[in-house]
Amino acid sequence: MDRTFLIKPVLDAEYPLIDYGKGVYLYDAEGKEYLDASSGAITANIGHGVQEIIDAMEEQAKKVSFVYRSQFTSEPAEKLARKIANLSIANLNWCFFVNSGSEATETAMKIAIQYWQEKGVYTKTKVLSRWMSYHGITLGALSMSGHTGRRARFIPLLEDFPVIQPPYCYRCPYNKEAPDCGYLCAHELEAIIKRIGADHIAAFIAEPVIGAAGGAITPPKEYYKVIKEICERHNILFIADEVMTGFGRTGTMLACEQWDVEPDIVTLGKGMGAGYTPIAAALVGDHVMEPILNGSKTIMGGHTLSANPQACAVSLAVIEYLEKNKIIPEVEEKGNYLKNKLMYLQKVYPFIGDVRGRGLMIGLEFVQDPIKKEPFPRRMKLTETLISVAQENGILVYPAGAGTDGINGDAVMIAPPLTITVKEMDDLIGRLERTFQQYYVQYA
Ligand code: PLP
């Protein structure tokens, strides 16, 4: 191809030109087949080229694709909000639609701050988060993210929002094991609240299962109960960022359900449109909306394309597809099947230090030695090399930095479309095993 005018993630890298996708497979313009074991960026939850979604797009486009939310509401937006309210945790009945996960977390942050203002408290403006977390690329979302690499260039522009240790049991910062650890990492929240003062803190935000910044780091059973109790006791809202985990990725509509915890605000994205349309949302609890309904009656947020009828119709069709084909109830079993196979690979390839995750959000962390758990030096670029060998072998996996220092450490995520079959999972494992073999021969 001639020179490009498109700004791509790495400017001097060659990217294959994609032609089409069907189910869990993608095909480039030269006819090469890729098994999409990462659902793109953990997004294509129902696979590629689903006819029902294409039909829903066409049907809505024939009616109306765009109306401005300050002038009109629309049937798809009303229906989608009602549907999501019914599907999600009890009190999360209000839905604010946006176009990306970053907008969803920014919106959640602003609603949390506004909630306190409407109650007459103007000092509660900080949002606490964790190291090894990612809540989005816009400046507010980055301020709440403990992703050192993505923050680095913009640090002077970011808010000073404190962070606590993540529930990273594979490398516990306290050298303890759950449940006997006493959840010290969760109790750090209390210590930091006491240091800063609860009257300065609006909310605490966390991904139920840590994605991009850690590779499916999954907290122990009681972790979120401890977190929620601390938040409640100190009058701090709990925001669950389910942009990656939501819409069934971990085996339930929201991952939070598995920790039996009720957030005050939840963010959704990725799987909501399953890659067929940009759409995301902040779900807000009745009790959070109450002072706003009794106060200014308006949320200071939103974008031109918020609650876009075309996008809402697609998201509705995605939910209908998930329900009709009973996809979410099968995720846990599929995840266990895949995890068992990956644990077998771990025995053959000792550089796979950890296999973790929930449902079809599985992380592999790589180490020089499985006993000492020493990470490979960053200069080796293991994750990047492995991903490109995987691509050569026709399998797409997702990079997820690991390591407590936020610099060293390598991890990837295996997160195929939730629609994947057993035969396709066997194909996935075959392609991955060939990748590990080739990596071992060429680089190890
Ligand atoms: N929150 C989480 C948990 C994410 O994983 C991501 C993206 O990876 C975001 C927010 C940001 O979403 P987006 O890339 O759609 O802006």
Residue 243 near ligand 1, beta carbon < 6 Å: yes
Distance CA 393, CA 412 (A): 16
pLDDT at 271: 98
Judge whether residue 278 has pLDDT over 80. Answer: yes
Residue type, 117: Q
Tokens of 143: 């301020």
> Tens digits of per-residue pLDDT, 41-96?
999 999 999 999 999 999 999 999 999 999 999 999 999 999 999 987 879 999 99
Pocket test for ligand 1, best of 244, 266, 279, 315 (most atoms within 8 A of CB): 244
ipTM for this model: 0.99
**Higher-confidence residue: 435 or 3?**
435
The answer, yes or no, to whether any atom of ligand 1 lies below 6 A from the CB of 268, is: no
pLDDT over threshold 70, residue 188: yes
**Is 389 near ligand 1, meaning CB less than 6 Å away?**
no
* Cα 212 to Cα 413: distance, rounded to the nearest angstrom: 8
Tens digits of per-residue pLDDT, 359-407? Answer: 999 999 999 999 999 999 888 889 999 999 999 999 999 999 765 565 6
Q: Is 248 in the pocket of ligand 1 (CB under 6 A)?
A: no
The whole-chain average pLDDT of the chain stands at 95
DSSP secondary structure, 100-168, as one string? SHHHHHHHHHHHHHHHHHHTT--S--EEEEEBS----SSHHHHHT-B-HHHHGGGGGGS----EE----
pLDDT band at 444 (very low <50, low <70, confident <90, very high): low
Angle in degrees, 0-180, between the axes of helices 422-443 and 331-348, rounded to the nearest 10: 30
Ligand 1 touching residue 140 (CB < 6 A):
no
Task: Supply the pLDDT for residue 404.
Answer: 53
pTM score, whole prediction:
0.97
- From the CA of 157, how far away is ligand 1's center (Å)? 20
What's the gap in Å between 369 CA and the centre of ligand 1? 32
**pLDDT tens-digit map of 109-125:** 999 999 999 999 999 99
100 lines ligand 1 (CB under 6 A): yes
How much is the pLDDT for 412?
96
From the list 442, 424, 420, 443, the residue with the least C-alpha distance to 432 is 424
Q: What is the pLDDT of residue 11?
A: 92
Sign of CA dihedral 204, 101, 155, 366: positive
* Ligand 1 proximity of 101 Cβ (cutoff 6 Å): yes
- Residue 159's contacts (CB-CB under 8 Å, 6 or more residues apart) are 126, 140, 143
Determine whether the shortest distance from the Cβ of 224 to ligand 1 is under 6 A: no
Q: What is the mean pLDDT of residues 239-260?
A: 97
Does residue 282's CB lie within 6 angstroms of at least one atom of ligand 1? no
pLDDT in tens, 306-328: 999 999 999 999 999 999 999 99
CA dihedral 409, 254, 185, 168 (to 10 degrees): -20
- Taking the CA atoms of 62, 65, 66 and 69 in sequence, report the sign of the dihedral they define: positive
Residue 408 has pLDDT above 80, yes or no: no
Edge to edge, the sheet with strand 163-164 lists 94-98, 280-284, 265-268, 237-241, 201-206, 126-130, 163-164
Note the pLDDT of residue 213.
Answer: 92
pLDDT of residue 241: 98
Q: How far is the CA of 379 from the centre of ligand 1 (A)?
A: 26
Q: Which of 105, 243, 268 to mutate to test the pocket of ligand 1 (most atoms within 8 A of CB)?
A: 243
Please determine, for residue 441, whether its predicted confidence score (pLDDT) is greater than 90.
no
Q: What confidence tens digit (pLDDT) does each residue in 93-106 have?
A: 999 999 999 999 99
Mean pLDDT to the nearest integer, 228-243: 98
Number of DSSP helices (H) and strands (E) in the chain, helices first: 13, 15
Overall average pLDDT of the 261-289 stretch: 98
pLDDT tens digits, one per residue of 335-368? 999 999 999 999 999 999 999 999 999 999 999 9
- Give pLDDT, residue 402: 60
Which pLDDT belongs to residue 406? 58
DSSP helix/strand/coil, 182: coil
Is the pLDDT reported for residue 156 higher than 90? yes
Of the pLDDT bands very low, low, confident and very high (cuts 50, 70, 90), residue 166 is very high
